Chain A
């Protein structure tokens, strides 16, 4: 099954909507709660990063019986130093975004901790792509 969501940069009123919609799909398919949690945490953080840091983006999800593959591509500033961005506490979030409680610099590490695979590619001045996979067959 394929799913697509479109994300607008800067629109915090809709941040998390795609993740929420996809969570409902997973619940309907009776995916184990622990696995849903891992997918949803990773997807939410990646979704919010598009809202917080990029101009616009697209989420494409492929759901297979044993695997969910999520591809998030955005048009935005890109990430100059991905290793640094992965560090807990590193954030370039604006003061306004931080005031809302974003910008702890924990999003990418949340994704890493919950995903079975995370690949980040980025071109500065162009955009960022995240490939995130979570195994569905894993026994809880």
Chain B
């Protein structure tokens, strides 16, 4: 599965347009504490969070994550989007909660 498939299936808002949408998705990690994600996420996972700032992209890039999904209808800061473009990692949005979108992603990846 690729990021572009997630965008379609989960009706996500692609805040970064086409950037990085062909990246493969290997799983997901949900959390809002940066050092938790740093310590426990795995390469290729999608990070589900309510954090909307630039440091998220530093962690996503250092951990080789596939994409970031921002929940609850929150919008990414401009500097987060700039950093996302630089790192070629897509930032996506949903109005759903972290629980709901995590559940859907989990089901999707089970198939």
Known contacts A16-B58, A40-B62: does B33 contact A106 (CB below 8 Å)? yes
Cα separation A109 to B39 with both chains bound (whole Å) = 9
Residue of A nearest to B62 (CB): A40
Task: Tell me how many residue pairs across A and B have CB atoms closer than 8 Å.
Answer: 69
Q: In which size bucket is the chain A interface?
A: 20 to 34
By a CB distance below 8 angstroms, the chain B residues around A102 are 33-35, 55
User: How would you classify the secondary structure of chain B's contact residues: helix, strand, loop or mixed?
Assistant: helix
Size band of the interface chain B makes with A: 20 to 34
The 30 sampled A-B contact pairs (Cβ below 8 Å) are A12-B53, A12-B54, A13-B54, A13-B79, A16-B58, A16-B62, A19-B58, A20-B61, A37-B64, A40-B63, A41-B38, A41-B63, A44-B38, A45-B35, A45-B38, A48-B34, A48-B35, A100-B34, A101-B34, A102-B33, A102-B35, A104-B34, A104-B35, A104-B36, A106-B33, A106-B35, A106-B36, A110-B35, A110-B39, A113-B39
